[in-house]
Amino acid sequence: MTTTTDEQHPPSPAPSPRRDRAQLLLLGVALFLFIPLVLFLFVRHPQPVGLSLAGGLVLMVGHRLLARPYMLRALPAKCLWCNRVLDAGEGRRKGETAAIELCSRGAAYHARSCSEHRLPLARFFSFVETWRWPLRLGIFVPLAFLLISLAATAAGQPASLETWTAWFKLIVGLTVNVAALGSLLAREHAPVTVPFPLHNFFLLGVRNLLWIFRLVGLWWIWQGLAFVLGP
């Protein structure tokens, strides 16, 4: 009696939608954790400072390489606002989901959202695009000064590292709290060009990310003011 190929190698069971959903969400959380780790290395800069600086820069580059493929996987699968994994059967014909076109690095991406979340999502990205230069300056200028002071300290040069760290916290804390108001204050316009790395917004969803930035930003504002105004 002969044995067929199917009998020798029975097909593997189909993947569980619930397991796939959990994997997608957990992977987003794991990739998000790169961000607080980088900030810890830059802001707390444990000794040796040079190793903290190098480790943070390596994590930044590695995160981009890992997070962009995740974004492409999450693009059709999750609500970009609330991070809910959308069922395959949900569609715009039923009014259950909506789409928004986002441009980044010269490419257009069609993100999905719950129907009721499209408006705050569009308002937020419209606000970020309209105020892109003040927001960029509020994040990247203090970051540049912090990195320069870290490099100078690692090289044994006087750099007022704690002062630059306090100013970094204060300015970035204010900037991210202003950005978080975008979903409430801005008017939608289309198409929208995202001036910041788009993949970061897919990790936890925009709403969750903004709440984290609000809370951490308020803490940093308090710490920055305490240092700047202190004796």
d(CA 121, CA 231): 43
d(CA 24, CA 50): 35
Cα torsion 91, 92, 97, 102: sign: positive
Q: Residue holding tokens 């979903």? A: 183
- Sorting pLDDT into bands at 50, 70 and 90, what band is 183? confident
Cα torsion 82, 188, 221, 198: sign: positive
- pTM of structure: 0.86
CA distances from 220 to 34, 112, 145, 174 (A): 19, 32, 17, 9
Specify the pLDDT at position 90.
52
SS3 content of the chain, % helix, strand, coil (to 5): 65, 10, 25
- Sorting pLDDT into bands at 50, 70 and 90, what band is 12? very low
Specify the pLDDT at position 144.
96
pLDDT of residue 13 exceeding 50: no
Tell me the per-residue pLDDT of 119-159, one tens digit each, with 9 for 90 and over: 999 999 999 999 999 999 999 999 999 999 999 999 988 77
Domain coordinates in residue numbering, the chain: 17-229
Q: Residue holding tokens 């009014």? A: 95
Question: Do the beta carbons of residue 55 and residue 39 sit within 8 Å?
Answer: no
Return the ∠ at Cα 132 (arms to 167 and 66), rounded to 5°. 85
Where does residue 118 rank: exposed (0-12), middle (13-18), buried (19+ CB within 10 A)?
buried
Q: Find residue 85's DSSP bridge partners.
A: 78
Specify the pLDDT at position 89.
56
Give the residue among 179, 221, 186, 181 at the shortest CA–CA distance from 200.
179
